[in-house]
Amino acid sequence: MYSEIQRERADIGGLMARPEYREWNPELIKPKKLLNPVKASRSHQELHRELLMNHRRGLGVDSKPELQRVLEHRRRNQLIKKKKEELEAKRLQCPFEQELLRRQQRLNQV
């Protein structure tokens, strides 16, 4: 069955027009490659030029100013502390934990 499909495709391939037909007839209009409007835009060209210059200099796209890195690090640490405090508060809200803390405080006082 598979071999029959292959034979049919080979027959169809013989019927299809070849790209060589354009070369022998000078009256036919040759298609032009369409311009990509994004690549043709001035802002895209400037951005591409800037990226190439930064790459040649060895500056990475990921490199950030020191101040920005420090601020992000602080913000990340604050979020982590806040999450830890919330988890600890939830843990202390459990009635079993509260009772254990009360008993531990009584034992420490005695």
- Does residue 22 register a pLDDT over 60? no
- Does residue 73 register a pLDDT over 90? yes
12 or 100, which is more confident: 100
Residue 31 binned pLDDT confidence (cut-offs 50, 70, 90): confident
Annotate the chain with three-state secondary structure. CHHHHHHHHHHHHHHCCCCCHHHHCCCCCCCCCCCCHHHHCHHHHHHHHHHHHHHHHCCCCCCCCHHHHHHHHHHHHHHHHHHHHHHHHHHHHCHHHHHHHHHHHHHHHC
Q: Does the pTM exceed 0.85?
A: no
Instruction: Choose the weakest-confidence range: 12-21, 31-40, 50-59.
Output: 12-21
